[in-house]
A = this chain, B = another copy of it.
Amino acid sequence: MNEQGYLRHIHSCNPPITERFIPWLIGDQVVGWLRPWLVEKLDECPNVFDIANESVTLAARLESFDDRSAALADVVEWLAKQELITPPMGESYPVTPAGREAALCIMDRSAAAYFGVRAFGQHLNGFVRKNDGLYMWLGRRARDRLIFPGALDNMVAGGLPWKVSLEENLRKECMEEAGLPENVASQAVPVGLVSYNRVAERGYRPDVLYCYDLELSPEFAPQNTDGEVESFELMPIEEVARLVRETDEFKLNCNLVIIDFLLRHGYIEPQEEEYLDLVIGLRRPLGASLKPAGE
């Protein structure tokens, strides 16, 4: 694989998965993927899960959103008590075969990572038009952050808890991370999403990042208020593109958000040999690169 170029970041976010995961269904819709040890354990909960040969299905008797959520909360508590999973974080994630709005129930964020359910985030491209071209605001992550300390980041980026609407969460993140007042943040334009599938320590990890563009006045300078960002820098878009192409300075998934920006704004052109792979590769279906059942 190339040591340089855009495509390697898409590959890094979607590594080939050799480990076996078992699909987890609600009704006939896949909502997650489980490691075999967890499936064995869930077999001890016969009223909550039906374990078949190559799949795990939430018991059909759990008919409502609340019934399902309550049953899963009990299972999560039971697993955490045995120290098989990390303790609940008290923050809920949607369990869904598609987008957030199609959630069939919720489960604790910490446990969700073991159950291979989709995680949703929001990333914002803050940019400025000057006479000599487009500039992009980038954040430098604080050195004390757990993941990617000191790496470059989108101007605003954050995870999406269940209880908060997309607009509300984006406004909150814009204020906390960049000191963007509400009247500016509300001008952010939703421009699509990137998605990728990988394996993390706790389990299968399908991620969806909603992407936003926000054009800022040349007078505005972002200011961090929550300690997560060490500093901000306004960089010519060509230099941002070069950093993505030639270095690993960015937090891994931010590369994908910026590649999407470069594609949408014509900075990566269709003459590029990798153009198709880039445009198609930025949006991987849930469950992609997993081995089919039985193999």
Contacts and interface: CB of A to CB of B under 8 A. Distances in A.
Contacts of A98: 273-274, 276-277
A15 interface: no
A270 B99 contact: yes
Given A99-B277, A193-B279, A283-B283, 5 more contacts: A165-B271, A192-B279, A193-B275, A195-B280, A279-B283
A210 interface: yes
A166 B271 CA distance: 7
Contact of A101 (B99, B193, B208, B273): B273
A95 to B, nearest CB: 15
Interface stretch (A217-225, A233-241, A261-269): A261-269
A64 to B, nearest CB: 19
A146 interface: no
Interface of A: 98-99, 101-102, 165-166, 189-193, 195, 208, 210, 263-266, 269-277, 279-280, 283-285
Contacts of A166: 270-271
A265 B191 contact: yes
Given A99-B270, A270-B166, A283-B283, A192 B276 contact: no
Name, among A165, A192, A266, the residue most crowded by chain B CB atoms within 10 Å (CB to CB).
Answer: A192
A193 B270 contact: yes
B280 A285 contact: yes
A260 to B, nearest CB: 9
A98 B280 CA distance: 11
A111 to B, nearest CB: 22
Contacts of A266: 189-191
A156 to B, nearest CB: 15
Contacts of A279: 192-193, 283
Contacts of A283: 279-280, 283
Contacts of A191: 263-266
Name, among A99, A195, A269, A277, the residue most crowded by chain B CB atoms within 10 Å (CB to CB).
Answer: A99
16 contacts: A98-B277, A99-B274, A101-B272, A101-B273, A102-B273, A166-B270, A166-B271, A189-B265, A191-B264, A191-B266, A192-B279, A193-B270, A195-B280, A279-B283, A280-B284, A280-B285
